[in-house]
Structure 1
Amino acid sequence: MSSADNTPERERLSEDLIFDVLKNRRRRYTLHYLKQQDRPVELSELAEQVAAWENNTTVEGLSANERKSVYTSLYQTHLPKLADAGIVDYNQNRGVVELSANAAQLEGYLRPQDEFPWIRYYLALAVVSAVLVIGDFLDVPPFSAIPNEIWGVLIVAAFAFSALAHYLRRRRLARQERPSNVES
């Protein structure tokens, strides 16, 4: 705890630690589910969902052995490792786990991949905007027929709309039900 404000201190996770934690699929599934729920989760609920993803089935379709295997490994190995790394808060006695503040450092490593080529899109939008501005500046018809203010509003609106679409798409991807590497 920080003595100044009584909030937990966020420790900087090393890249080696992050890669070590994330090299295991079961831990990645665990982090995905905890992020999705955004609340403390009971170990049994977590184990069922992770087992369902691992076995490509629903929670209802799991066998007792599949549940028990995942529950045991989460209880004995994976959750203590995540807790020792400071990524989750794990109360082993109560069987409750939730993401800690340090989990935010994993965001760039766990984010579902967006197949849309946003970099190329924004580059093309910038090139088109530059052509419009240069055409207007050089009084090339039809660019010179439209007032500068209109061009400015159109270009800003195009970037604003694009940024909003990008943001909403990322939010949708982040909230997807299954982790990105689980087959449908």
Structure 2
Amino acid sequence: MGASRVEPDGDIDVPQPDRKTLTEDELFELLANQRRRHIMHTLMQEDDRLDIGDLSQEIAAWEDDLAFEEVSSTDRKRVYTALQQSHLPKMDNAGVLEFDRDRGTIEPTPALEDVEIYMDVVRGRELPWSDYYLGLTALSAVLFVTTVLDLLPFSRLPSTAWGVFVIVSFAVSALAHRYYARRNRLGIADEPPSVELEYRDRSTNE
């Protein structure tokens, strides 16, 4: 049950509802669908009540790479039906938004603020950042060992040069990581990321 808040003058405020916390499995399942990412992206940007009709037209424009006013009624209805019958009820049940079917409105909930949407995914030939940093650390360790053992040709360079190389490498990597992280977050750019998330069912590993 939600906890009641007592004011300094002794009055009891209206009970506050419990705040739903998403599990990681629920989060990945929501993010696995592009249209649901579109919805969360728009809610994070607007932080206000949305109309399902306008949202449907906006998503159709994103999907077909059209201007908002160029979307046909057929495409708008296609997205509208999918949102109304599938995606919005699912997200409402998860607690990230409130969907009023009668009024056709969508509102963000506090649970949406807890969604840390960092999509560190493999794009084509790109390596995951965890593997990249592991490789950079291994390279730094090799350079350190060769310097300590005074092996050629590394022994010809002062140890400070290798130290500067390692520091600069990690600094540049951190800046690049920050750039890609912001680019892959929902609610940041003008349009939502087009990266497809792969939902990982960890139940097989438990």
TM-score, with normalisation over the residues of structure 1? 0.69
Q: Which has the higher contact order (CA 8 A, sep 6+)?
A: 2
Map 1:23-172 onto structure 2 (within 5 A).
25-35=34-44, 37=45, 39-43=47-51, 44-71=53-80, 73-75=82-84, 77-90=86-99, 93=103, 95-98=105-108, 100-102=110-112, 104-105=114-115, 107=117, 111=119, 113-115=121-123, 116-117=126-127, 118-172=129-183
More helix by share: 1
- Contact 2:19–2:110 (CA under 8 A) maintained in structure 1: no
Q: Would the alpha carbon gap of residues 104 and 80 (structure 1) be closer, same or farther in structure 2, given more than 3 Å must change?
A: same
Kept in 2, the 8 Å contact 1:47–1:74? The answer is yes
Q: 1:160/1:52 Cα in 2 relative to 1: closer, same or farther (>3 Å)?
A: same
TM-score by length of 2: 0.63
Q: Which runs of 5+ in 1 are unaligned?
A: none
2:117 counterpart SS class: helix
1:132 Cα deviation from its structure 2 partner: 1.7
Distance in 2 between the 1:22 and 1:130 partners? 37
4+ residue segments displaced more than 6 Å: none
In structure 1, the partner of 2:21 is 11
One-letter identity of the residue aligned with 2:92: A
Percent of aligned pairs with the same residue? 34
- Aligned residue pairs total 177
Structure 2: gaps (5+ residues)? 6-15, 197-206
Offset of residue 79 of structure 1 = 2.3
| SS of the residue 1:107 aligns to | coil
